[in-house]
A = this chain, B = another copy of it.
Amino acid sequence: MKTLKIPEATIIRLSVYSRHLTDVDRKGIITTSSGDIADGVGVSPAQVRKDLAYFGEFGTRGVGYNVKDLRQHILRILGLGVDWNVTLVGAGNLGLALCSYKGFRERGFIITSIFDSDPSKVGTMIGNVKVLPIEQLEEVAKQNQTQIGIIAVPSAVAQDIADKLINAGVEAILNFAPVVLNVPPQIELRNVDLAVNLEVLTFNVGAQRF
């Protein structure tokens, strides 16, 4: 299976399609079409067909897609359908928001350990997970076989945390600190800069005015 050339925008849309199919499945609907999916998520039917076509043949001409089958297939493509062991570093407001974010658990992302450097936070419980001191990060993440690390700490310490996560054997890092991190090529890194989202909006608002 050759997947490396697939545009990231397609992966993001697959993720959106699978959520929509989860809703449709809950309503007891058995079959759907690219047109229905397109309407449900706000893209064109051609886009839905093109995105799915990257991964082979789905559906039956004139009948459409079986909702459960298509949903399962997309989840497998996305590497879901199994639980992922996630370590969160940083128990500030953002960390707390991520812990209470229902979307993670629903999709199989389980935050199994949380670390912070603030002694007033260490030892407190977030949900059913105890906040541990940052000094234990490498040891505990290694023991837990953590696959994904989430960095929700200030920029100044983000690289140090990334290095510790990599030493502990994580395969992927989601970074919320607005700083460029250096990681080895085999580590999957994704930066979430919340202000960038606003800047795409203001660019588009500006473009409408020209």
- The answer to whether the Cβ of A201 comes within 8 Å of any Cβ in the partner chain is yes
A198→B206 CA distance, assembly (Å): 30
- The answer to whether the Cβ of A207 comes within 8 Å of any Cβ in the partner chain is yes
Beyond A190-B200, A194-B103, whether A205 also contacts B171 by CB under 8 A is: yes
CB distance from A29 to the nearest CB of B (A): 16
Cross-chain contact B174 with A103 (CB below 8 angstroms): no
Cross-chain contact B78 with A203 (CB below 8 angstroms): yes
Cross-chain contact A97 with B107 (CB below 8 angstroms): no
Which residues of A (92-107) have their CB < 8 Å from a CB of B?
92-94, 96-98, 100-101, 103-104, 106-107
Cross-chain contact B172 with A188 (CB below 8 angstroms): no
- The answer to whether the Cβ of A129 comes within 8 Å of any Cβ in the partner chain is no
Contact with B along A1-19 (1 / 0, CB 8 A): 1111010110110011001
- The answer to whether the Cβ of A199 comes within 8 Å of any Cβ in the partner chain is yes
- The answer to whether the Cβ of A84 comes within 8 Å of any Cβ in the partner chain is yes
A41→B193 CA distance, assembly (Å): 13
Cross-chain contact A1 with B210 (CB below 8 angstroms): yes
Contact with B along A121-159 (1 / 0, CB 8 A): 000000000000000000000000001100000000000
Tell me which of B101, B188, B193 contacts A205 (CB under 8 A).
B188
A61→B60 CA distance, assembly (Å): 57
Cross-chain contact A190 with B199 (CB below 8 angstroms): no
Cross-chain contact B188 with A12 (CB below 8 angstroms): no
A180→B171 CA distance, assembly (Å): 31
CB contacts (< 8 Å) of A98 on chain B: these are 194
Cross-chain contact B97 with A92 (CB below 8 angstroms): yes
Cross-chain contact A8 with B198 (CB below 8 angstroms): no
Closest 4 CB pairs of A and B: A79-B202, A93-B97, A79-B206, A94-B97
